[in-house]
Structure 1
Amino acid sequence: MRQLQPIHALFITTGLYHNTYAISKLLTFTALSSNGDLSYASLLFTQIPTPNSFVYNTLIRAYSNGPHPHLSLHYFNLMLKDDTVWPNNHTFPFVLVACANAGCRSSGLQIHNWVLKCGLGSSDSHVKTALIRFYLGSSVLEDARKVFDEIADVDVVQCTVLMTGYIQLGLAAEGLSVFQDMLMCEIEPDEFCVTTALTACADLGALVQGKWIHEYVKKREELVVDAFVGTALVDMYVKCGCIDTAVEVFERMPARSVCSWAAMIGGFAIHGQARKAVEYLERMQVEDGLKPDGVALLGVLAACTHAGLHKEGQFLLDNMEARYGVVPKHEHYSCMVDLLCKAGQLEKAFELIKRMPMKPLASVWGALLSGCRNHNNVDLAEVAVKEILLIEKGDRAEEDGAYVQLWNIYFAAGKCEDAVRIRKKIGDRGLKKKPGCSMIEVDGVVNEFVSGDVSHPHIAKIHATLELVSLYAIRKRAMGESGRSL
């Protein structure tokens, strides 16, 4: 910007600022460069006597993903009022992004009408992809799917966008279904699409389908060498409970990134292998010359939490910045508080919370509250609940959870009057327990079961099988008591 400003002055003194093409070059740098200045770009715009569509599109694009996406819509409206220009295929994708980021669903619907009015609804791939993104970003799945289904020549990018949207909205099964339909239509997935499909498998615990995708990856050299695909495979096997296979995939990766190491370290944490997590932290520096990031270090802290290694965890937290150049964030402190609480060191955990360089959020106080329940510390539990209620202010789920925990603590400590008081408060709030949910994969199909739900198509068969299991258990117990064997 220091170099650009005297050039801008030269434009003014020589009259070049009247030249739209010349001034648009300044505008592009100030609006889109990471070293630019978006507010300066807006001032430049006011100096252009006859802005063309490129100028409008540049500012619409610049503001669409920034902290003020509504300004993108402002420049789009100025464009519509300008009789000399007309929105084009470079305009609509970024305006739709701005609508999604600004939460302007009604404006997005109007933009869709403009797309149809300009004849781009069925011809431009980028515009169609942007429409799918907008509807997914606005959580309007039905309209996103409708736009997708109306595309005659669906490409891999549009499939990936739809899959990603489903996964982000907690509908991984539907996302995986899009991937399967895509393969049936002989659309070849790229590395981003395969990574997204593996993410869906990881979320669902769909091991059979994940293995099938792994076999597909092995047949395509460009996917085998891709670090993102390899990392997604590691993550999928870890979350499906196959830690040994995850290690095998990891060790065979031709190129590993910091994310790959973080996924493997996080996998060891999930499976309670703390020593392995620490070992891989050292290996990533020695073998690949990579410095761990905050995610990898959080994985090691989580591993220490599972294994109860509070001394090792405390040492890592205290030396993160000096050894690895990573300043501990809130999630690192939260993990350490959880570790200390599980080790029964509640006072130390409370002292750590008070020393945190940032304001403690609900996750930290929630970890302390859980520790108080496990170790029957009423005083600290009351402090934790008070802080959670002050922080959340309206987050019913967090507040309800805090009250339930406090009731359990009072009840276990024999404080009946306090327990009754909290119980009444819970009743007044109309608190209902969230139903439990479990998933199991059978013959490549992931079945989801929610407590109290009787809508499963094989519910009769399930109940009959459970009855048989129950009868078998009763018979076995009865025979065991009489000294006979089955």
Structure 2
Amino acid sequence: MAAHLRAWKRCMSLAQRCTTMHQLKPIHAIFLTHGLHHNNYALSKLLAFCALSDSGSLSYASLIFTHIQTPNSFIYNTLIRAYSRSSQPQLALHYFHLMLKDYGSNLLAPDNHTFHFVLSACANAKWVLAGKQTHNWVLKNGLVLFDGHVQTALIRVYVECKVLDDACKVFDEIPCLDAIQWNVLMNGYVKCNMGSEALRVFRDMLMSGVEPDEFCVTTVLSACAQTGAVLQGKWIHEYVKKRNGMESDVFVATALVDMYTKCGCIDMAEEVFERMPKRNVFSWAAMIGGLAVHGYARMAIHCLDRMQVDDGIRPDGVVLLGVLVACTHAGLQEEGQLLLDDMENGYGIRPKHEHYSCVVDLLCRAGRLDEALQLIRRMPMKPLASVWGALLSGCRVHNNVDLAELAVEELLMLENDGVEEDGAYVQLSNIYLGARRGEDACRIRRIIGDRGLKKTPGCSMIEVDGKVNEFVSGDVSHLHRAQICAILELLSLELV
């Protein structure tokens, strides 16, 4: 008995000190030699390391599982949890189904942890049907009434699957909502480009007496940026100032910078940025991106140097894309091409498709269409719609029919949902008209009509007196449409 106890203590001590798979495998062998491979508690220690540690191996965890004769709830939950956040979330459902089979034979019941992890897998994989089936299990077990983690996971499933009506139903049935649940719903509306609804949810949250945390504030500022609701963004900024310590949160401050730049208040964005006690790569990306879209290309390039000198932060691909956008908007051709060529050697970042697309756009705007085509041909990846679309737009501006036909041909060869197809035909028709080739333009228009293609209508938003107004091309439902049209006619007379 004493020898067995010493062996047990030694094995547990080894398992506890294990930090790599190189160490774990011989420890597993020691477990086998001492007969601990039949002990669920002992094996759970090894399995938990393999499944949950950054140094572990999920495949080895699954191998350990196959040799366990009667797995318990902890073992099942460990594997389901690990696979729910992995690149193979389907295996989380596999182990859940195995657990249900064992449930039928030996009363091994899924618990609140199980359902939380299974729902997380459904959310991460965007499986709405599996999510609804798990939702039914949750209802049968009554967990939706009292477990906050399961409630939040249910909302998140429907949010990630963009089934917001069902997300709202779950949300409305929760008797005592917390800040996390409010944030998940708000974030769902933002992801679906429904920023106005996210702002409504935020107002309801404040009225309910729940105090928003840093995550909620960051989300609602994203909604303000999305809708251009600068007055509401400023109110939230004042609210942040009154909350002790929140203004110094790097993510809240970065969201403020992003909001102000997207709402056209570049001076306010700079003020917030310069007052930040700590900045990260996202902060610099937001500031550089804001300067880029406002036409301050030289300042954006200066920020690229500043972030390395002042904060010791190495730029990532998003930051460099922001600088390329700045060069594109300002027509800085040499600077843009030089940065693209120097990305890998100077910053250790291999250019991605979006970086090439940006420089193609830069060359097209400058009328250097042949150079743009040469760059496209040199791209190490397959050119997508954004690249050929940039070339097509350049052809329209500079009346290059031959290259326009090539760009449209390439666009139509891409597998897409038809959005690029209708836009490409409309652009080509306009290019033919600009080149006085009316017959070709009519031929393209007939193709558009025969295929039933419709160009996606344009949409714009503006905030007036704290209320966001949305305008969609062709929509005549706005209450003040007559007055708006009258003002536009007056403005058009001034522009002539």
Whether TM-score is above 0.5 comes out as yes
- Deviation by residue 1:320-364 (Cα, 9 ceiling, x = unmatched): 122222221111111111111111111111111111122222211
Correspondent of 1:311 among 334, 354, 362: 334
Partner of 1:463: 482
Q: In structure 1, what is the equivalent of residue 142 of structure 2? A: 119
Deviations 1:238-278 (A, max 9, x none): 01100011101111111111110110000010101100101
Question: Counterpart of 2:417?
Answer: 395
In structure 2, distance between residues paired with 1:440 and 1:178: 20
Residue 395 to residue 111, structure 1, CA distance change in 2 (3 Å):
same
Of residues 238, 250, 258, the one that matches 2:273 is: 250
Aligned equivalents of 1:59 and 1:130: distance in 2?
18
Q: What is aligned with 1:180?
A: 203
Question: CA-to-partner distance for each residue in 1:67-102, whole Å, 9 max, x for gaps?
Answer: 322221111111111134211111112211222344
In structure 2, what is the equivalent of residue 410 of structure 1?
Answer: 432
Tell me, in whole angstroms, the C-alpha distance in 1 between the residues paired with 2:340 and 2:270: 26
Which stretches in structure 1 are left out of the alignment for 5+ residues?
481-486
| Cα gap change, 1:56 to 1:319, in 2 (>3 Å) | same
Indicate the residue corresponding to 2:22 in structure 1.
Answer: 2
Determine which of 88, 94, 107 is the counterpart of 2:117: 94
Identity %: 67
RMSD: 2.0
Q: In the alignment, what sits opposite 1:484?
A: none
AA aligned to 2:59 is: S
Q: Deviation at 1:437?
A: 2.2
| Counterpart position of 2:14 | none
How far 1:138 sits from its partner (Å)? 2.1
Structure 1 segment 18-417 matched on structure 2, within 5 A: 18-82=38-102, 83-392=106-415, 394-417=416-439
Q: CA deviation at 1:468?
A: 7.0
Equivalent residue of 2:468, what SS? strand
One-letter amino acid of the structure 2 residue matched with residue 10 of structure 1: I
Residues in 2 aligned to 1:454 and 1:7: alpha-carbon distance in whole angstroms: 73
SS of corresponding position for 1:86: coil
Instruction: Describe the superposition over 1:131-165 as per-residue Cα deviations: whole angstroms up to 9, x where unpaired.
Output: 10011122221111111111111100000000001
What's the secondary structure of 2:87's corresponding residue? coil
Cα deviation for residue 103 of structure 1 reads: 4.1
Task: Pick which of 284-293 and 225-234 moved more.
Answer: 284-293
Aligned-partner Cα distance in 1 for 2:80–2:490: 68
Alpha carbons 2:50, 2:61 under 8 Å: kept? yes
In 1, the alpha carbon distance for the partners of 2:256 and 2:458 equals 28
Distance 1:451 1:388, change over 3 A: closer
Q: Distance in 2 between matches of 1:339 and 1:214?
A: 36
TM-score (normalised: structure 2): 0.91
1:12 maps to 2:35: no
**For 1:367 and 1:13, how far apart are their aligned partners in 2?**
66
**Which residue number in structure 2 is paired with residue 449 of structure 1?**
471
One-letter amino acid matched to 2:53: S
8 Å contact kept, 2:126–2:157: no
| Structure 1 residues 385 and 111: CA distance shift in structure 2, 3 A | same
Separation (CA, whole Å) in 1 of partners of 2:393 and 2:487? 38
Matched AA of 2:464: V
Are residue 438 (structure 1) and residue 465 (structure 2) matched? Answer: no
- Of residues 113-122 and 93-102 in structure 1, the stretch that sits farther from structure 2 once superposed is 93-102
Give SS of 1:238's match. Answer: helix
Q: Give unmatched runs, 5+ long, in structure 2.
A: 1-20
Amino acid of the residue matched to residue 73 of structure 1? L
1:234 positional shift: 0.4
Q: Deviation of residue 213 (structure 1)?
A: 0.4
